[in-house]
Amino acid sequence: MAVTADRIDTATVLFTDLVGSTALRSRIGEEAADSLRVTHDQLVGDAIAGARGIVVKHTGDGMMATFPAAVDAVAAGIAIQQAVDGHNRRGAEERFEVRVGISVGDVTFTTDDCFGLPVIEAQRLEAAAEGGQILCAEIVRHLARGRGGYEFVSIGDLDLKGIPDPVPAVEVRWEPVVQVAMPRETPLPPVLARPPGFDLAGRQPELDVLLDAWKDSAAGRRKVVLLSGEPGIGKTRLATETALVARHHGGLVLAGRCDEELELPFQPFAEALRFQLELGDEVPSEWFGSLASELVRLVPELADRVPGLAPRLSGDPDAERMRLFEAVTSWLRTTAASVPVLLVLDDLHWADRPTLLLLRHLVHETAHDAVCIVGTYRSTARTARRLSTTKRGWHRAGFRQPSQRRSPESSRSCPNPHVSSWKEPRWQAIPSSRSSQWPPPGCPRSR
């Protein structure tokens, strides 16, 4: 029998606990408590997985998880509290509260557990927290500094059971995800052509995938959907139909396109940002995020709309690029905290490398935001090469290759776009059908 040696590694450890679970079980009964526990496990587990965490074990009424980076554990803690808060405000089941503790350091991993002082410290910090609170060791703040824009507040030294010296601790501040609808149906971005006067035919399975992704994202679970196919097969038309539904239900639709001739870095994001800016008073200036000064690189007119912007920092190219990535992330996350966002990125087959790197970064950083990203591209060998790096990055972030299945509509005469809904832990895909003639007789050509 093979014996796996223990492994020592640096990790960030997170503990959660369902507050007052015993009293809650006594009050609502066994069956209701079991149902609530399933809901709790789903909310907490999804938040951990979305931040690249691994659940090491369940601890009765909570979970223990590890993360490769301190900022990921902080993001998971906030996502947990926001998910629980959203559950409580929906009122579908009994309300409950969760407390979170986080620490970091060298731990010993075995096949199904991990041990060490950071594990004890995280568990004791969780026990010291109140319902709805996130407590961290001070070192977590230092390691996460400069990433994510999270707010830490020092609460002094804590005497924790079993730890000889007081532990400097901080609280992570978080805000509920409160979404509102746009005050009116705003215009569609220029990228999304006005749909023709005839109904969309033969595309219902593909449209269902898109609409399901939009509904999930509006509930605070970021979704990514890619539409691929030959030119004129209807990729942009499908995106437009989704945009019409999102707009009708109070969402904000943003869009941008990659241009074959220009190949400007970050072009689709710049176009989406400029469209939001041109909505004027429909969109509060606060929605552009805490790093709006960096966004001036994409849309210089933003400086006239947002007063008092700090001067943009200069530095080496890599540092400037990372600040821009964080600024775009802050803009979309801040906007999505107030209204669900549908972001359409058209013609990604013309995207340059910086644009794809920003897309990969955005997908990773918005796991628990009300953002639905729809990308369209032509299914060519060149596209596959260009998108391969981005897709590998999504693999590392926890996405999985879709299993191919035939659409019920694939026997129709019109070939359908390939729709891949990228989501954790697996993708859902509807492959396109093929026909020797496009468009077949009686099928209108749509862009």
Domains and CATH numbers, the chain: 7-173 (3.30.70.1230), 204-430 (3.40.50.300)
The predicted structure's pLDDT at residue 19: 94
Distance CA 113, CA 65 (A): 10
Contact of 122 with 105, CB cutoff 8 Å: no
Q: What is the DSSP letter of 442?
A: T
The pTM for the full model equals: 0.58
The predicted structure's pLDDT at residue 270: 96
**How far are the Cα atoms of 126, 279, 311, 313 from residue 296, in angstroms, in the given order?**
41, 17, 10, 12
Which contiguous run of DSSP H or E holds residue 226?
strand 223-229
The predicted structure's pLDDT at residue 373: 94
- From first to last of its 447 residues, the chain has per-residue pLDDT tens of 444 568 899 999 999 999 999 999 998 899 889 988 998 998 999 899 988 899 999 998 999 999 999 999 999 999 999 889 877 766 556 789 999 999 999 999 998 899 999 999 999 999 999 999 999 999 999 999 878 788 999 999 999 998 989 999 999 999 887 656 566 678 889 988 665 555 555 677 888 888 888 988 887 778 998 888 877 777 888 888 899 889 888 889 999 999 887 778 899 999 999 999 998 877 888 888 888 899 999 999 998 888 777 777 677 788 889 999 999 998 998 888 888 999 999 988 888 889 989 998 998 888 778 899 999 888 765 665 666 666 665 555 444 444 333 344 433 334 555 666 554 433 233 333 332 232 223 333 333
Distance CA 151, CA 241 (A): 39
The structure tokens listed for 257 are 């396109």
Q: How many Å separate Cα 134 from the centre of its chain?
A: 21
Q: What is the DSSP letter of 403?
A: B
Contacts of 388 (CB under 8 A, 6+ apart): none
At what angle are helices 381-396 and 353-365 packed, to 10 degrees? 30
User: String of b and e for 83-113 (b: at least 16 CB within 10 Å)?
Assistant: bbbbbbeeeeeeebbbbbbbbbbebebeeee
Nearest CA to 11 out of 111, 115, 161, 98 is that of 115
HSE on the CB side for 258, CA within 13 Å?
22
The predicted structure's pLDDT at residue 149: 81
User: String of b and e for 398-419 (b: at least 16 CB within 10 Å)?
Assistant: bbeebeeeebebbebebbbbbb
Q: Judging by DSSP bridges, how do beta strands 167-173 and 151-158 pair with one another?
A: antiparallel
Rounded to 10 degrees, the C-alpha dihedral 241/242/244/249 comes to 150
At CA 68, angle to CA 326 and CA 65, rounded to 5? 115
The predicted structure's pLDDT at residue 180: 60
HSE on the CB side for 279, CA within 13 Å?
23
The predicted structure's pLDDT at residue 269: 96
**How far are the Cα atoms of 41, 410, 422 from residue 435, in angstroms, in the given order?**
46, 10, 26
Burial of 425 (0-12, 13-18, 19+ CB in 10 A): exposed
Contacts of 102 (CB under 8 A, 6+ apart): 12, 13, 14, 15, 70, 73, 74, 77, 122, 125, 134, 135, 136, 137, 140, 172
Query: Would the CA dihedral through 238, 242, 243, 244 be positive or negative?
Result: positive
Whether the link from the prior residue into 425 is cis, omega within 30° of 0, is yes
Q: Judging by DSSP bridges, how do beta strands 223-229 and 371-378 pair with one another?
A: parallel
The predicted structure's pLDDT at residue 124: 96
Contact of 251 with 183, CB cutoff 8 Å: no
The structure tokens listed for 138 are 């001070």
